[in-house]
A and B are shown apart, each in its own frame.
Chain A
Amino acid sequence: MRLEIEVGGRVRTVTVERASAASDRFVVTVEGCRHDLDVRRLDRATLSLIRLDGSPARTSHALTIVETGLRGRYDVQLREGVFRTVIDGRLRSGPAGERLRAGRQVVTAPMPGRVVRVLVAPGDEVDERQELVVIEAMKMENALGSPKAGRVVEVAVREGMTVEVGRMLVAVE
């Protein structure tokens, strides 16, 4: 299986294959560099890896992979923290591809909650980081700011609405 995976702004070509049909051994190459791994799935989201390639780095790792709800986008959690990955640039052709359309930036709900205030209307000029929408979640009011200076082209929520993660709130152009 061959994949293009983006992390930290860099796309890498990756291949994955099972070393032999009935084993937990896998061979993964990243940009041509080969890694021999013993892989076990601890639960659906958690992989336990042991590096068999004599890498000088730590050999035993637990990784949790969480699907973000956007196709091809996975948050991979290591001890160091969470790394956003995009597989096969599907982002560009998927429903969220809209986000990358030139100039247009969409603010989505980072967590489920209730919209307590909508501070802008279509046509408003906004500054970068200007507050657009306030979502109450987990007992705090969380103000979501504009990703860029520009003009509000769409407001997709009303005050009082309950929103899920990833729900589009406001588009700024």
Chain B
Amino acid sequence: MKVLVANRGEIAVRIMRACRELGFRAVAVYSECDRSAPHVTYADEAYPIGPSEPRDSYLRIDRLLDVAERADVWAVHPGYGFLATFVGPSAEAIELMGGKVTARAVARAAGVPVVPGTDASLDPGLSDAALSASAGAIGYPLFVKAVAGGGGKGMRLVHEPSALVAAVAAARSEAGSAFGDDTVYLERRLAATRHIEIQVLADAHGTVVPFVERECSIQRRHQKVVEEAPAADMPLERRRAMADAAASIARAVGYTNAGTIEFLVDETGAFYFLEMNTRLQVEHGVTEAVTGIDLVQAQFTIARGAPLDIDPVRALTPIGHAIECRVYAEDPDASFLPSPGWIHELRAPSGPGVRDDSGAMAGSEVPVFYDSLISKVVVWGTDRAQALARMRRAVDEYEIHGVKTTIPFFRWLLRSEAFASGPVDTTFIDATLAARGGRPFVESSPEAEELAVIGAALYAFLEAGHGDASSSASVSAWRQAARTDSLRA
């Protein structure tokens, strides 16, 4: 039995690992620039599907179906980006819940409160005056959001009426290129809210299992960068109420497979439906860590038409605490601009309680064509304090050379007083970044600067042809191995 994994990077590798454990052969697809990428080398079979641009390769459904047929697979797993679904919910449920405007209507009908906003998407021909009137009725500050959105793409925060028209244009443009759909709607921004979400699994036999919540309030540019399970200070009654609301929304659309219902929670503990993600999510690892349930394997169980065999109490009862940090190829000292390029050196963290779901290795490339996520580090501890200490240790161990990454940012964040004492709201990062006033995350010290000077000097010396320091080709593999080992210390 074979499974086609129609994605790339860390999520493709993560899904292939589940395939291996279930005894399925994993089939990869790859674009030109991904020819030797880790997800390709990990797979049992791999097929080229075109040039590097996603629309010419990973988004080409005809080519994916062609590979599915040639490789004779029983299932296609889409990962989480790129495509809607094969291993996943029905097309109807995706259409309803994938469109944020229809999803809000479903939640309202299921008796779950929604964030105030427009009931329909904005007509593309809407006049500026009508747009302003519509926004005025909702109230500022507000978000312009892509109906097909996700991951903070196609989304703009608008503080005042004068910025509205430009923000709508920008959101449309970004949504059009990211999702192939440029429709947007307006939604009020609630103050001081936390972003808390409920994972659900639902099978074709009517079973819907809601899981313990994930806290995803650490966001920048409306994109999650750190997630935890469970949320700090979550009363049991609220956990049950949110789980019930999530399950009733999933039931209302006859949802099957893995999905996530996102809520905003205000200071009083009241929660509002935000949106539903009709796919596996990046942060699924923290749920796996505190429940011991493999969500990707469960997706395959559901796709086979088999009933879920999960104890609902276990799914709602976290054991210990888990934290995830998303390692992106972005420069935290240049407003988190993407930093594509070749990875020269990579030392991943390991040891007790650490899981590194990575799609990169030394010698691999972070191409300019795709999302810049390199890896997700998930740690588990018996409580939040231990998990936090482990994550500090893990990001200190993590070394990625060649591209800039969010690791220096995490080293700072995990030591910040506010994060350690938690919980914080979704404005936390933007507010602390503003308060830092551009002070760099890459910690400078006289020792580090001196080492950088020494490195630059040696490099210039060697490049100027003053003889080579032994290259790996000219030394024995044994010596090289011993040296690499000594560097790990």
B442 contact set on A, CB distance < 8 A: 80-83
- Whether a CB of chain B sits under 8 angstroms from the CB of A3 is yes
- Whether a CB of chain A sits under 8 angstroms from the CB of B469 is yes
B331 contact set on A, CB distance < 8 A: 110
Q: Contact at B441–A81, with CB atoms within 8 Å? A: yes
- Whether a CB of chain B sits under 8 angstroms from the CB of A96 is no
A43 CA to B461 CA in the complex, in Å? 15
Partner of A48, one of B341, B456, B459, B487: B487
Partner of A62, one of B153, B339, B399: B399
Q: Which of A51-66 contact B (CB under 8 A)?
A: 57, 60-66
- Contact status of A65 and B174, CB under 8 A, knowing A40-B483, A78-B448, A82-B404: no
| Segment of B207-215, B272-280, B366-374, B413-421 in the binding face | B366-374
- Contact status of A111 and B337, CB under 8 A, knowing A28-B458, A83-B449: yes
Which chain B residue has the least Cβ–Cβ distance from A87? B460
Q: Contact at B369–A41, with CB atoms within 8 Å? A: no
A82 CA to B470 CA in the complex, in Å? 25
- Contact status of A43 and B472, CB under 8 A, knowing A28-B454, A63-B451, A77-B401: yes
Q: Contact at B443–A138, with CB atoms within 8 Å? A: no
B337 contact set on A, CB distance < 8 A: 110-111, 142
Partner of A37, one of B344, B454, B456, B487: B454
Q: How many Å from the CB of A141 to the closest CB on chain B?
A: 5
Partner of B455, one of A24, A65, A134: A65
- Whether a CB of chain A sits under 8 angstroms from the CB of B476 is no
Q: Contact at A76–B456, with CB atoms within 8 Å? A: yes
A105 contact set on B, CB distance < 8 A: none
- Whether a CB of chain B sits under 8 angstroms from the CB of A5 is yes
- Contact status of A138 and B340, CB under 8 A, knowing A62-B399, A80-B442: yes
Partner of A77, one of B334, B402, B447, B449: B402
Interface residues on B, range: 35 or more
Partner of B462, one of A41, A66, A85: A41
Q: How many Å from the CB of B36 to the closest CB on chain A?
A: 15
- Whether a CB of chain B sits under 8 angstroms from the CB of A120 is no
* Interface bits B457-484 vs A (CB < 8 Å: 1, else 0): 1111110101111111001000000011
- Whether a CB of chain A sits under 8 angstroms from the CB of B408 is yes
Which of B334, B402, B444, B454 has the most chain A CB atoms inside 10 A of its CB? B454
A134 contact set on B, CB distance < 8 A: 170
A42 contact set on B, CB distance < 8 A: 345, 472, 484
Q: Which of B336-350 contact A (CB under 8 A)?
A: 337-341, 344-345
Which of A35, A41, A87 has the most chain B CB atoms inside 10 A of its CB? A41
* Interface bits A129-160 vs B (CB < 8 Å: 1, else 0): 00000101111111000000000000000000
Q: Contact at A141–B174, with CB atoms within 8 Å? A: yes
A134 CA to B167 CA in the complex, in Å? 13
Partner of B177, one of A8, A63, A136: A136
Q: Contact at A5–B489, with CB atoms within 8 Å? A: no
Q: Which of B231-288 contact A (CB under 8 A)?
A: none
Interface majority SS on A: helix, strand, loop or mixed?
strand
A60 CA to B488 CA in the complex, in Å? 9
Q: Contact at B449–A3, with CB atoms within 8 Å? A: no
How many residues does chain A have at the interface if contact means C-beta atoms less than 8 Å apart?
Answer: 61
- Whether a CB of chain A sits under 8 angstroms from the CB of B22 is no
Q: Contact at A1–B370, with CB atoms within 8 Å? A: no
A82 contact set on B, CB distance < 8 A: 404, 442
B408 contact set on A, CB distance < 8 A: 80-81
Q: Contact at B452–A78, with CB atoms within 8 Å? A: yes
Q: Contact at A111–B456, with CB atoms within 8 Å? A: no
A24 CA to B470 CA in the complex, in Å? 7
Q: Contact at B344–A46, with CB atoms within 8 Å? A: yes
Q: Which of A13-42 contact B (CB under 8 A)?
A: 14, 16, 18, 21, 24, 26, 28, 30, 35, 37, 39-42
Partner of B153, one of A35, A49, A137, A139: A139
Q: Contact at B469–A8, with CB atoms within 8 Å? A: no
- Whether a CB of chain B sits under 8 angstroms from the CB of A7 is yes
Partner of B402, one of A37, A45, A47, A116: A45
Partner of A47, one of B368, B399, B458, B486: B458
B466 contact set on A, CB distance < 8 A: 1, 16, 18
A30 CA to B401 CA in the complex, in Å? 24
- Whether a CB of chain A sits under 8 angstroms from the CB of B162 is no
Q: Which of B69-122 contact A (CB under 8 A)?
A: none
Q: Contact at A16–B453, with CB atoms within 8 Å? A: no
A64 contact set on B, CB distance < 8 A: 344-345, 401-402
B454 contact set on A, CB distance < 8 A: 14, 28, 30, 35, 37, 49
- What would 17 A/B residue contacts be, using CB atoms closer than 8 Å? A3-B460, A7-B456, A14-B453, A24-B470, A26-B469, A30-B454, A37-B454, A39-B469, A57-B447, A65-B456, A77-B402, A79-B399, A80-B444, A81-B404, A116-B173, A117-B173, A138-B329
4 smallest beta-carbon distances between A and B, as pairs: A81-B442, A64-B401, A83-B452, A63-B455
Interface contacts beyond A42-B484, A61-B487: sample of 9 additional A-B pairs, CB < 8 Å, sorted by A: A14-B453, A41-B470, A42-B345, A46-B345, A49-B451, A78-B451, A81-B408, A110-B331, A138-B370
